[in-house]
Amino acid sequence: MQARIWVAGALVALAGCGQPVGQAGAPTAAEANADLRHAVSDPRVARFYETRGWQSAWTRETESALVAAIGEAERHALDKDAFLGPIQQAPTGAAHDAALSLAALSYAEALARGRTDPARLRAVYTVPRPDPNLAAGLAGALRAGNVGDWLRGLAPQDEEYRALSDAYLATNQEIAAATQQPEGSPQRRRAAPAIDRARTLAVNLERRRWLERTPPATRIDVNTAAATLAYLRDGRVADVRRTVVGDPEHQTPQLGSPLFRLAANPTWTVPHSIEQAEIVPKGEAYMRRNNMEWRDGSIVQKSGPRNSLGLVKFDMRNDQQIYLHDTPAKALFSRSERHESHGCVRVDDALGFARLIAADQGVLEAWEDAQEKDEESFVTLPHPIPVRLLYQTAFIDNGRVVFVPDVYSWDEDVAEALGLPARPRRAAAARHGDVGP
């Protein structure tokens, strides 16, 4: 692995800083305007200069502040040379001014919403992302003379991001120390696992940059890599539970989707993919034993404790038919590895969780009445709760960094998009779970 990815080098020394228009030997305003238009090819940079009437943007002072800020890229597990390189290739004139703007906007975007685009890495990604007006932000920072502070403020400012960033920097130091030891020594052998940790931290810092900076204070976050759920009420963690999520062949997608109602004693209309592959071949006797019947061309499992959805379903609005639910397969929650479903999220003690949600929403009595019925009944939540299905293989738990296996091999997609060397991917494990969603 190239050392420049993991260990910060010295700041790049830049030559040929732009001179303010009007000095002796400088081009006229019209000439500078034409030169800038010719130098700019990136549409983000073009929009920035359009708001300025195609006037040059940078002075020696603001350029120095920009270079210093980008020099801190390692704290975010980013490669500063990827941003500073174009500046070196255009050392003077309008091309230099345009290169500075491109570097500033590219680095700003990497900090503000990620260096990579999750919607291009996965077929489904609907978790809300930040979308600041970076061109306007850069223009304001240049006017105020605070380019460095503006850039630093674009990255996530929460404690977990800072803790992961600190862990990344510490791991880089560990790598640097290990690689200075003799080949084959025990100290040198520590470099390989440290490089793996640094890679995982880099990927998860990137994932956090994808997320909106002020998510709803009351929400449900599911980490599908760790198979856990956290319910936050007014910005504080109110409840944490184990979950069972999609197996490697039926991966739970990364969704932002509201929980809008509780279904008591749900029925389950079996998706046709499960129906044909896992139920029809087992025959009519299996269907009778499991309380299933044909209705309008689909197999439907009737309400009851043996229903694959258990006794409660947490309905969510999305096009992927993904939701939270109970399950009769309670033993799965005791396992350390809980990637066993067809993609939906099973919740430990789902009835207790439903009661908690109903109480918080002021519909506990309606929920209890619905449970008493012998058929599927619905209780709409007065205030839908945003649910985020995330995939985080490194996170903070009780103040320490926790790493979990990359069961879906999604880390590799992000790492390669960040320009890190490719690694072998995990083979999808064979599924041994039940037929439930």
Question: For residue 177, is it within any domain?
Answer: no
Query: Are 223 and 391 contacting, i.e. CB atoms less than 8 angstroms apart?
Result: yes
Q: Tell me the average pLDDT across 76-102.
A: 94
**Does residue 145 share a domain with residue 239?**
no
How high is the mean pLDDT of the chain? 91
What confidence score (pLDDT) does residue 431 get?
63
**Does residue 242 share a domain with residue 144?**
no
Residue 305 in this model has a pLDDT that exceeds 60: yes
**Does residue 232 share a domain with residue 143?**
no
Question: For residue 112, is it within any domain?
Answer: yes
**Does residue 375 share a domain with residue 231?**
yes
What pairs with residue 240 in β-bridges? 230
What's the pLDDT tens digit per position in 92-145?
A: 899 999 999 999 999 999 999 999 999 999 999 999 999 999 999 999 999 999
Query: pTM for this structure?
Result: 0.90
Question: For residue 316, is it within any domain?
Answer: yes
Question: For residue 281, is it within any domain?
Answer: no
Q: 162-166, 332-336, 421-425: which has the minimum mean pLDDT?
A: 421-425
Q: Which residues contact 64 (CB under 8 A, 6 or more apart)?
A: none
Q: 92-106, 269-283, 302-316, 419-433: which has the minimum mean pLDDT?
A: 419-433
CATH number of residue 367's parent domain:
2.40.440.10
Question: For residue 191, is it within any domain?
Answer: no
**Does residue 325 share a domain with residue 241?**
yes
What confidence score (pLDDT) does residue 12 get?
33
**Does residue 381 share a domain with residue 257?**
yes
Query: Are 354 and 314 contacting, i.e. CB atoms less than 8 angstroms apart?
Result: yes
Q: Tell me the average pLDDT across 254-281.
A: 95
Pairing of strands 298-301, 400-403: unpaired
- Give residue 53's Cα distance to chain centre: 37
Instruction: Please give the span between the terminal C-alpha atoms of the chain, in angstroms, as a whole number.
Output: 41
What confidence score (pLDDT) does residue 376 get?
96
**Does residue 337 share a domain with residue 253?**
yes
Q: Starting from the edge strand earliest in sequence, which strands make up the sheet with 268-269, in order? A: 268-269, 298-301, 292-295
Residue 28: which pLDDT band, with cuts at 50, 70 and 90? low
Question: For residue 118, is it within any domain?
Answer: yes
**Does residue 13 share a domain with residue 119?**
yes
Q: Which residues contact 254 (CB under 8 A, 6 or more apart)?
A: 118, 122, 124, 125, 126, 127, 224, 389, 390, 391
Place of tokens 């030997």: 25
**Does residue 232 share a domain with residue 117?**
no
**Does residue 143 share a domain with residue 30?**
yes
**Does residue 344 share a domain with residue 248?**
yes
Structural domain for 30, as ranges: 3-123+134-152
What is the percent of the chain with per-residue pLDDT over 90, rounded to a whole number?
84
Question: For residue 337, is it within any domain?
Answer: yes
What confidence score (pLDDT) does residue 8 get?
35
What confidence score (pLDDT) does residue 9 get?
37
Maximal C-alpha separation, the chain: 93
What confidence score (pLDDT) does residue 436 get?
86
Q: How many domains does the chain have?
A: 2
**Does residue 146 share a domain with residue 9?**
yes
Question: For residue 66, is it within any domain?
Answer: yes
